[in-house]
Amino acid sequence: MGLLRGFLVLVLFYLLGEACRLVFALPVSGGVLGMIAMTVTLMTLGGVSNELASASQGLISVLVLLIMPGVVGVFFKADQFAGQWLAVGAALLVGTFLSVITTLLLMSFLVRRGQREDSQ
């Protein structure tokens, strides 16, 4: 029962997010709006119930299951993207390589600079 009560809270926040998206014509999905509302609510309340924590943990641990129907689509829709595979492959491989380097260098630089400032 506790698990279902936690799930109900997640569904309510999702519906709240969807309602906000529709009413204010926002270009962001209802799930994300619900997630932001959830984080802000928890920060305001200063704690999270066990029911909610276990319901969220349960859903997050089966995320891979939930995305599977979409993932396999790429095998069945592949012919739609004929002639685009070089662009797709290069964007994914080279783009990810560059963004990983950027993140590591920038973050290392900022952390080092922060430590220097603290020690001064």
**Site for another protein, residues 46 to 85, rule: CB under 8 A:** 48, 52-53, 55-57, 59-60, 62-77, 80-81, 84
**φ, ψ (nearest 5 deg) of residue 29:** -70, 155
1 vs 70, which CB is nearer to another protein? 70
Binding-site member from 27, 50, 119, 120 for another protein (CB under 8 A): 27
Q: Is 106 in the site for another protein (CB under 8 A)?
A: yes
Q: Is 22 in the site for another protein (CB under 8 A)?
A: no
Q: Is 19 in the site for another protein (CB under 8 A)?
A: no
- CA geometry: angle 52, 58, 61, nearest 5 deg: 135
Q: Is 2 in the site for another protein (CB under 8 A)?
A: no
Rounded distance between C-alpha atoms, residue 118 and residue 120, angstroms: 6
- CA geometry: angle 98, 99, 104, nearest 5 deg: 100
Rounded distance between C-alpha atoms, residue 95 and residue 89, angstroms: 9
Rounded distance between C-alpha atoms, residue 92 and residue 87, angstroms: 9
Binding-site member from 1, 3, 17, 116 for another protein (CB under 8 A): 17
Q: How far from chain centre, in Å, is Cα 44?
A: 21
CB of 18 to another protein, least distance (A): 7
CB of 20 to another protein, least distance (A): 13
